[in-house]
């Protein structure tokens, strides 16, 4: 919001500023997993055909994209009023506050680091010289898990497959997070050590369909009471 108005919309459509922010989310998405997917089991969810994101892309008509734009916000009707017709109209005009969803984080996320990372990523996108071109290149409006669109998938970058890979991407992008003193060097160093301590680079391939080992792994990192 800026001066009471959403900068995410321009004449009812997604604005250039919004697309630049999305470009930033996507460009840093592989390292953002270091804040949002912090245990080995996180990466067992990020697999194809589960409506979980695996490819670095965005869209508004595909639930498998990494960054999804809910179309309802840009409609002529207020989503809140439409969904709750009997409730008092206390949120008039809220429909103009377009949002986007960054869909890979899970319950393992450090929410404070994640929000800080997303803020850095949005600024990064707004400052990227080729942000709009990158946004156009990574937009998808098809089901990319259908075999006939395999060539499109091959054009997209992939999210990490493990905490180890996530740490590698964080090392690669750390200068962006550390710029302006947003993330102290010690925080980045500590996260990299923590993520690599799982030593899970090949864990997904090693366990595969071993239900006993999968259960053991879940019980190691998640409370299942």
**Tell me, what's the pLDDT at 74?**
53
Which residue's entry shows tokens 């990158």? 134
Q: What is the mean pLDDT of the chain?
A: 88
Q: Highest mean pLDDT: which of 85-94, 125-134, 148-157?
A: 125-134
| Residue 57 vs residue 50, higher pLDDT | 57
Rg (CA), the chain: 19
- Mean pLDDT, residues 102-122 taken together: 97
d(CA 93, CA 78): 7
Lowest mean pLDDT among 58-67, 90-99, 190-199: 90-99
| Residue 68 vs residue 205, higher pLDDT | 68
d(CA 54, CA 100): 17
User: What would the DSSP string read from start to end of 29-80?
Assistant: HHHHHHHH--STTHHHHS-TTTT---BS-EESS-TTSSEE--GGGGSSS-HH
**Tell me, what's the pLDDT at 113?**
98
Strands 13-14, 67-68: pairing is unpaired
How far is CA 140 from each of CA 15, 18, 19, 73, rounded to the nearest angstrom?
Answer: 17, 16, 13, 19
Q: Domain boundaries in the chain?
A: 9-221
- At residue 13, the 3 state secondary structure works out as strand
**Tell me, what's the pLDDT at 55?**
94
- Mean pLDDT, residues 144-169 taken together: 91
Among 225, 224, 195, 215, smallest CA distance to 44 is for 215
d(CA 43, CA 38): 9
- Mean pLDDT, residues 118-142 taken together: 96
Instruction: Give the N- to C-terminal CA distance of the chain in Å, as an integer.
Output: 41
pLDDT at 203 over 80: yes
Q: Tell which CATH classification among 3.40.50.280, 1.10.3720.10, 3.30.590.10, 3.30.110.60 matches the domain 9-221.
A: 3.30.590.10
Among 39, 28, 36, smallest CA distance to 174 is for 28
| pTM of the predicted protein model | 0.88
| Residue 8 vs residue 127, higher pLDDT | 127
- At residue 120, the 3 state secondary structure works out as helix
The CA-based diameter of the chain, rounded to the nearest angstrom, is: 55
């Amino acid at each position: 919001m800026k001066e009471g108005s959403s900068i995410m919309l321009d004449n009812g459509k997604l604005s250039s500023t919004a697309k630049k922010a999305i470009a930033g989310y996507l460009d840093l998405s592989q390292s953002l997993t270091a804040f949002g997917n912090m245990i080995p089991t996180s990466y067992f969810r990020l697999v194809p055909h589960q409506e979980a994101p695996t490819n670095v892309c965005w869209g508004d008509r595909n639930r498998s994209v990494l960054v999804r734009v809910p179309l309802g916000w840009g409609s002529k009707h207020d989503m809140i009023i439409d969904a709750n017709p009997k409730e008092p109209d206390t949120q008039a005009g809220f429909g103009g506050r377009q949002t986007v969803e960054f869909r890979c984080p899970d319950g393992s996320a450090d929410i404070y680091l994640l929000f800080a990372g997303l803020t850095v990523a949005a600024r990064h996108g707004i400052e990227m010289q080729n942000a709009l071109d990158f946004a156009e290149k990574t937009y998808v409006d098809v089901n990319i898990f259908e075999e006939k669109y395999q060539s499109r998938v091959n054009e997209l970058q992939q999210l990490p497959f493990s905490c180890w890979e996530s740490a590698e991407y964080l090392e690669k992008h750390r200068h962006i997070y550390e710029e302006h003193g947003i993330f102290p060097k010690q925080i980045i160093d500590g996260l990299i050590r923590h993520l690599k301590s799982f030593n899970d680079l090949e864990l997904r391939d090693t366990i595969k369909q071993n239900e006993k080992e999968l259960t053991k792994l879940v019980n190691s990192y998640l409370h299942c009471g």
